[in-house]
Amino acid sequence: MPTPLYNPYSTQIFGKDLSRIMGDDGSNGLPRVIVEAAKYIRSDCLTVQGLFRVSPPQHLVQFAVSAYDRGHPVDLHDYGPHVAASLVKNFLSMLPMPVFPAHIYPALNKFPTIPEAKRTEYVQMHVFDRLDPPVVILLDTVLRLLTGTSPCLLANVRCGFCRKIY
């Protein structure tokens, strides 16, 4: 008998394929760590300086990752805003397949040359329409979170965060 692709009793989420966590169409919803980190950051951390830039103590990040992977309850207030932000970054960087696969790179590289009035349409047609549904759902949440933390998203994201999710 073949092994099922996704074991619903498995709680490990870090380093797992996004479609196995969320389902091929995203119908299983966002990973718990993303939901909880986004909620905590939006409610309590939007004014924290260097939220996605400052690295917290790695042992705290590892404790939180282990707790999520074991399915234990995690109160992000106990860890702080920088750990919550690091959990989002770690989740993205540990995905086995990058959020933006190689076939999307040409469209991303061309983006700066697109006239501003046509950029939304361009991104929809040449980037989002070519990504798997779970990736689009995840990006929607992460990008909304980033725009909430910075009035100047592109200036802050360009510096390295996007390299983590490529």
Radius of gyration of the chain, Cα coordinates, nearest whole angstrom = 17
Looking at every residue in the chain, the average pLDDT score rounds to 85
Helix (H) or strand (E) run with residue 132 in it: none
**Is residue 116, in this structure, part of any structural domain at all?**
no
**Is residue 156, in this structure, part of any structural domain at all?**
yes
pTM: 0.81
> In a 3-state reduction of DSSP, which class is residue 151?
coil
**Is residue 87, in this structure, part of any structural domain at all?**
yes
Place of tokens 């996605």: 52
**Is residue 66, in this structure, part of any structural domain at all?**
yes
List the CATH number of the domain containing 83: 1.10.555.10
Domain count, the chain: 1
The pLDDT value recorded for residue 150 is 56
Concatenated DSSP letters of 32-95: HHHHHHHHHHHHH-TT-TTTTTSPPPHHHHHHHHHHHHHT----GGGT-HHHHHHHHHHHHHH-
Q: In angstroms, rounded to a whole number, what is the distance separating the alpha carbons of residues 144 and 147?
A: 5
**Is residue 114, in this structure, part of any structural domain at all?**
no
**Is residue 70, in this structure, part of any structural domain at all?**
yes
Q: Residue 74: name the closest of 65, 15, 145, 25 by CA.
A: 65
Q: Residue 146: name the closest of 56, 43, 42 by CA.
A: 42
**Is residue 105, in this structure, part of any structural domain at all?**
no
Q: Containing domain of residue 53, as a range?
A: 18-99+133-165
pLDDT digits 0-9 by tens, 125-153: 999 999 999 999 999 999 988 887 654 44
